[in-house]
Amino acid sequence: MKLINKKTIINILFILILFFSVSVFLFGISVTKNKGMILPFGIINITSGSMEPEIVTGDAIFIKKVNATSLKKDDIISFYYGNIIVTHKIINISNSLITTKGNSDTSLTEVISLNKVIGKYTGIKVNGFNKFVNFIKSFWGFMIFIVIPISCLFLFEAFDLFKNIKAKRENIKNDTEK
């Protein structure tokens, strides 16, 4: 029975870090201002307290693309309001207009058209996760969580390749000497 060696464990860890980082990076950039969602799911960083106590400042919420005509009262949606992204609860839908409001008493009511809807809140949130998402989207976060793991995997595999080539050459040399 073969035991898992140290290199395999390191490779698995690098792959997991890379997969997680790329996922967060893609989800984080999947919702761009005035361009909609690139992927079917996205992460929205909550920057105001208008949805407290359900969703608080600093949370990262996961949203999914939806057909705006399938939305109903009390759904929580993210939408464009001018050039900012807002996340509020639907309080009324009439014709092609949606009226939304945050949970807090000081939150204002917004009326938007269906085409301004980015996505619907999935119910999944991570408290304070937006700090991590913002870091991964930064230059240093990209370097630490994406470039360095890819480089390490490449170097480990290149080292193994050269080690195997050297071993084969020695085997061939030993076979020809016999």
End-to-end CA distance of the chain: 32
Range of the domain at 151: 143-178
Mark residue 95 as left, alpha or beta (left: phi above 0; alpha: psi -120 to 50; beta: remaining): left
What is the Cα–Cα distance from 151 to 34, expressed in whole angstroms? 34
Task: Give the mean model confidence (pLDDT) for residues 117-145.
Answer: 84
Beta carbons within 10 angstroms of residue 152's beta carbon = 16
111 or 178, greater pLDDT: 111
The reported pTM is: 0.62
Rounded to whole angstroms, the Cα distance separating 40 from 43 reads: 11
Based on the fold, state whether residues 163 and 119 are members of the same structural domain.
no
Structural domains of the chain, count = 2
**Domain identity same for 42 and 125:** yes
Q: If you average pLDDT over residues 76-91, what whole number do you get?
A: 89
pLDDT at residue 163 tops 60: yes
Q: Same domain for 54 and 93?
A: yes
Same domain, 158 and 129: no
Residue 105 sits in a domain whose CATH number is 2.10.109.10
Task: Specify whether 128 is located in the same domain as 172.
Answer: no
Cβ(47)–Cβ(64) under 8 Å?
no
Shared domain check, 128 and 51: yes
**131 shares its domain with 72:** yes
Please give the mean pLDDT across all residues of the chain.
81
Burial class (CB in 10 A: 0-12, 13-18, 19+), 63: buried
Give domain status of residue 97, yes or no: yes
Q: What is the DSSP letter of 75?
A: -
Based on the fold, state whether residues 93 and 41 are members of the same structural domain. Answer: yes
